[in-house]
Chains A and B, each alone.
Chain A
Amino acid sequence: MSTLANSPVLPAGVTLPIYMDNHATSQMDPRVLEAMLPFFTEKFGNAASRNHSFGWAAEQAVEHAREQIAKLIGATAKEIIFTSGATESNNLAIKGIAEMYKERGNHIITQVTEHKAVLDTCKRLEKHGYRVTYLPVKADGLIDLEDLKRAIDDKTILVTIMAANNEIGVIQPIAEIGKLCHEKGVIFHTDGVQAIGKIPVDVNAMNIDVLSLTAHKLYGPKGVGALYVRRRNPRVQISAQIDGGGHERGMRSGTLNVPSIVGFGKACEIAREEMATEAARLQGLRDRLRKKLESELDYVEINGSWDHRLPGNLNMSFVYVEGESLLMGINDVAVSSGSACTSATLEPSYVLKALGLGDDVAHSSIRFGLGRFNNEAEVDYVADKVIGIVKKLRELSPLYEMVKEGIDLSKIEWAAH
């Protein structure tokens, strides 16, 4: 009794810490681990070893995974190239296409809210004679298709627009973008990292030519990713960025990471089978979280389109409270903030700023990323905790006090520093 007296009584279904940062990474599904285990020990062969049974077993497992992954996105197994993760996939796609098609043109189109793996790759290409258009987004985080249409010219070789955003969970009109690209004869690449396994993605129905994937966002292992590269209508060619043994149809040399690839395949298979029910469940949890927070707190704002959003994403600003101090108050809950107070610069999230949010609101944002292993009891616990801390911090906030007194904060001459 004396030992129990000191530990807080938690509701059933809640164990601390609670993980709600599934956009960053996800817990591996035990079914995935189980599939992987034999490939570390008894089935350890190199998939490129063609002359003994160890190699054949590894190759067979890799080909099975290729099929599992392809099936999730409506592709064929031959169109899947393994990489170390989505950053490499994005680099390979963008640089590989830019290099391969440079005779045809030097113009690339992307958008301002892409992941850094895309933006920084594009910036590098700009130093090598490529021209890049960074499309703006509307207040809801979606690009305007008319902007895209206008941006495409006869030098455009590639459009790269992510399927779903990692911060605000906003889903772009991928099928419409794909259709437009195909009409104009431009290659369409999409960073599908956040979308794959969460919402239906079909490379043929959506006219996607190249697609970046990674395993660890869908309950698979870290350090393994893939690139879908269309083989017909049109056949897309990619210039290798890593040379060597000519693995992966010459597009990506390097010994295959067999256990992780097996896990990636299994993760995709599970995601495909459970996507419909899981999406509905996550959406229910997310809506519950939003409702609870909004019922108890004033001055909260949803960032990004609510209707075009991943089922597990809730990005919310708790205005007049700074994000990092909010995270400190819920230190047994893992979430992320778009505030920059954890970094050396004072610039808050560029994604939130691209929506037109003021820096003050961006500094106040929290990203909740719900996933397969979250439950309703956790949502209730987190909601109560956040409500308590926001109220406490607002008692401390001079801004909240001033607003409550009817002072217009925009009229104050702040000493910017």
Chain B
Amino acid sequence: MAYSDKVIDHYNNPRNVGQMDKSSDEVGTGLVGAPECGDVMRLQIRVNPETQVIEEAKFKTFGCGSAIASSSLATEWVKGKTVAEALEIKNTDIVKELALPPVKIHCSVLAEDAIRAAIGDWKKKNGVAETAEAVAVAAH
């Protein structure tokens, strides 16, 4: 599979790899995918309680090069954004930025789901009202 330079760069130099304390109220954790499907992403955000700005993001991904690149890019994009702004990130933006081939669009969807799941987890912990969108993600 011929990947774009951006995918290869994220694969070779993944950004924000690691984990944060899941039990912290400031941290939201999203775990999406399934091992039998060949990809699992865990994306975490640390949100400033005053400003609702995502100050830190971490990920770990089991998956193909596109899955690794999509989640690495997602952590970069959510950092510095407010929770509301992060929810605006669409999988199609990831596809465009990484020039993912059509068969790999799935990986970008997973990354979008991971962002939403992490935000959903944070909202739940902090008693922030779920948006209709976030509820839909949690249900699926």
- B interface residue count range (under 10 / 10 to 19 / 20 to 34 / 35 or more): 20 to 34
B67 touches A (CB below 8 Å): yes
Q: Which residue of A lies closest to B102 (CB)?
A: A344
Determine how close the nearest CB of chain A comes to the CB of B88; give it in whole angstroms.
22
B132 touches A (CB below 8 Å): no
| Interchain CB contact under 8 A, A322 and B63 | yes
Q: Which of A339, A360, A395 contacts B64 (CB 8 A)?
A: A339
Given A398-B41, A398-B61, A399-B62, A322–B67 Cβ distance below 8 Å?
Answer: yes
Given A358-B36, A363-B38, A396–B61 Cβ distance below 8 Å?
Answer: yes
Q: 0/1 per residue, A315-349, Cβ < 8 Å to B?
A: 00000111011001100000000011111101010
| Interchain CB contact under 8 A, B38 and A322 | yes
Residues of A within 8 A of B66 (CB): 341
| Interchain CB contact under 8 A, A322 and B36 | no
| Interchain CB contact under 8 A, B103 and A344 | yes
Which of A340, A341, A360 gathers the greatest number of chain B CB atoms within 10 Å?
A341
Q: 0/1 per residue, A358-383, Cβ < 8 Å to B?
A: 11100100000000000000000000
B14 touches A (CB below 8 Å): yes
Residues of B within 8 A of A398 (CB): 31, 40-42, 60-62
Summarize B's interface: helix, strand, loop or mixed: mixed
Which of B34, B36, B38, B60 gathers the greatest number of chain A CB atoms within 10 Å?
B38
Residues of B within 8 A of A343 (CB): 103
| Interchain CB contact under 8 A, A396 and B33 | no
Determine how close the nearest CB of chain A comes to the CB of B1; give it in whole angstroms.
6
| Interchain CB contact under 8 A, A328 and B11 | yes
| Interchain CB contact under 8 A, A417 and B36 | no
List residues of B (90-115) whose CB comes within 8 Å of A's CBs. 103, 106, 109-110, 113
List residues of A (390-415) whose CB comes within 8 Å of B's CBs. 395-401, 409, 412, 414-415
Question: A363 CA to B37 CA in the complex, in Å?
Answer: 8
B65 touches A (CB below 8 Å): yes
| Interchain CB contact under 8 A, B64 and A325 | yes
Residues of B within 8 A of A320 (CB): 62
Q: 0/1 per residue, A235-246, Cβ < 8 Å to B?
A: 000000000000
B25 touches A (CB below 8 Å): no
Determine how close the nearest CB of chain A comes to the CB of B122; give it in whole angstroms.
18
Q: Which of A325, A329, A359, A414 contacts B33 (CB 8 A)?
A: A414
B39 touches A (CB below 8 Å): yes
Given A342-B1, A359-B37, A401–B64 Cβ distance below 8 Å?
Answer: no
A16 touches B (CB below 8 Å): no
Question: A341 CA to B17 CA in the complex, in Å?
Answer: 22
Determine how close the nearest CB of chain A comes to the CB of B89; give it in whole angstroms.
18
Beyond A328-B3, A358-B35, 13 additional pairs, beta carbon < 8 A: A322-B62, A325-B68, A328-B64, A342-B1, A344-B103, A396-B17, A396-B68, A398-B41, A398-B42, A401-B19, A414-B35, A414-B36, A415-B140
6 A-B pairs with the lowest CB-CB distances in the bound complex, closest first: A414-B34, A359-B36, A360-B35, A341-B64, A398-B60, A324-B64
24 chain-A/chain-B pairs, Cβ below 8 angstroms:
A320-B62, A322-B67, A325-B68, A328-B64, A328-B65, A341-B64, A341-B66, A342-B64, A342-B103, A359-B35, A360-B36, A360-B38, A363-B36, A396-B17, A398-B41, A398-B42, A399-B35, A399-B62, A409-B35, A415-B32, A415-B34, A416-B36, A417-B34, A417-B37
